Amino acid sequence: MESSKSQASPAAGNQGVPSWLGPVLCGLIIAIFYFVVPGFGNGGHRSPLYWLESTWNKETDYEHGYLVPVIMIGLIAWQWKNLRRLAAVSSSNMWGLPILFLGIALFVAGHRCGQARLSVGGLPMILWGSTLYLWGWQVARLTFFPLFFLWLAIPVPEFQQATTKLQIMATKLAQWGSNLFGVKTVVQGTQIFSANDRWAPLKIDEGCGGIRSLMALIMISSVWAYIAKVSLWKKALLCLAAFPLAILGNMMRLTSIFVIAEYGDPEFAANTWHDWSGLVIFYPISLVLLMIVHSALEQGVPWRRPRKKQVRTVVVQKAEAN
C-alpha cells in the first residue's frame, strides 16, 4: 500500500498549470487593450478596434474591412489541424520577443499620439510575435499571412490620392476602350460626353475609378497566392498581378457601360447595368485572368490532381531449350 501511494503522489504533482492557460491569459490582456482601453478617435473615447470598425464605410472606400476578420479566421481554421500537430512538437523561439515588443511599442506610440492606425498596425506583430515565442517557427510560418492580413483593413492617408489618380486613369482607358467599339466620346475631367449627344454625360466617380475593385482583387489574389502550392516568388507575382488585372477589368466594365448606352438603352446602362456590371463583368474577367496567370506560373491547370500512374509488370519467360 505504501509503495502505491508513493508512486501516485509524483503524478499528482506533475499536473500543475494547464498548458493552455498562459496563451488564454495573454489573449485576454490583448483583447482588453484593443477592445476596451480608450484614447483614440474623435474625443479620445474609442478603443483601437472600435475606431477601426468606424472607418469601414463608403467615405473611406474601406467597406471591405468587414470581410478581413472573417477571412483571417477562415484561413486559421483551414490550417487548424496542421497548427495543432506542429504546436505539439514545436519549441519556443526567443526571436518572437523583439517582434512582440515592437508591436507593443507601436501600440504605446499610437496611444500617446492619438494615432489609432499605429496601434492597430501593431496588433499583428503582437499576435505573431507571441505565436513565434510560444510555439516556434513552424507554427508562426503558417499564421504569418492570416495575422498580417489585417493590414488590408487599416485605412492609410494616401488612399484618397490614389483614388484620384485611378479616376483619371479609368476615364482615359474607358474612352480608349469605347473608341474600339466605335463609340465617339469627349472627355472633360472625369466626365465622358457622347460626341453625338445620344446619352447624358457620365461621370467616373471615386467608386467607378476602380479603387474598391482594386482592394477587392488584392484581397482575392493574396488569399489565392497563400493557398496556391507554388514557390514564394510566384506567390508574390500572383499578388502583384492584382494591380494590372484590376485596372484591365475595370476598363472593360466601364467600356461596356458606354457601349450599351450608345447602341442600347442609355438609362439602363447608367443605372441597372452600372450597378450590376461589377458582378457580371469585372469579377468574372478578373478571376479568369488571375487563373491564367496562375496557370502560366504553374505551367499547368492549377490545383489539378495528378493522374495516378499505372505501373504494369511485364513478366518475360525464357523459352526452354529443346
Using a cut of 0.75, tell me whether the model's pTM lies above it. yes
Give me the helix-helix angle, 137-148 and 80-89, nearest 10°. 150
Note whether residue 118 is domain-resident: yes
Cell output for 202: 457620365
Q: Tell me: do 243 and 173 sit in the same domain.
A: yes
Domain identity same for 147 and 264: no
> Does residue 169 sit in the same domain as residue 101?
no
Do 171 and 217 lie in one domain? The reply is yes
Q: Tell whether 239 is covered by a domain.
A: yes
User: 194-222 in b/e burial notation, b at 16+ Cβ within 10 A?
Assistant: beeeebeebebebebbbbbbbbbbbbbbb
Give the list of residues 6+ apart from residue 154 with CB closer than 8 angstroms, or none: 52, 117, 120, 121
Q: Which long-range contacts (CB under 8 A, 24 or more apart) does 98-106 make?
A: 98/129, 99/125, 99/128, 99/129, 99/132, 100/125, 100/126, 100/129, 100/130, 100/133, 101/129, 102/129, 103/127, 103/129
- Do the domain assignments include residue 76? yes
Could you tell me the residue range of the domain that residue 208 belongs to?
Answer: 159-298
Provide the domain count of the chain: 2
Q: How far is CA 286 from the centre of its chain?
A: 16
- CB contact at 8 A, 99 and 70: no
Would you say residue 92 lies in a domain? Answer: yes
In a domain, 198, yes or no: yes
When pLDDT is cut at 50, 70 and 90, the band that residue 6 belongs to is very low
Grid coordinates given for 77: 481554421
Contact 86/142 with Cβ under 8 angstroms? yes
pLDDT higher than 70, residue 315: no
Q: Find the mean pLDDT for residues 2-15.
A: 43
Last residue of a domain, one of 128, 153, 178: 153
Report the run of H or E that residue 195 belongs to, with start and end. Answer: none
| Residues 114 and 132 grouped into a single domain | yes
Decide if pLDDT at 322 tops 60. Answer: no
Q: Which of 153, 175, 209 is the last residue of a domain?
A: 153
Most confident of 22-26, 36-40, 136-140, 317-321: 136-140
pLDDT tens-digit map of 78-134 = 999 999 899 888 888 999 999 999 999 999 998 888 888 899 999 999 999 999 998
Here the cell at position 81 is 489541424
Is residue 26 a part of any domain in this protein? yes
Residues 40 and 108 in one domain: yes
Give yes or no: residues 165 and 291 share one domain. Answer: yes
Neighbouring-strand partners of residue 185: 194
Determine, yes or no, domain membership for 13: no
Co-location of 183 and 266 in the same domain = yes
Residue 171 belongs to what H/E stretch? helix 159-180
Domain assignment present for residue 79? The answer is yes
Among 153, 187, 207, the domain-final residue is 153
Say how far apart CA 196 and CA 305 lie, in whole Å: 55
103 grid coordinates: 508591436
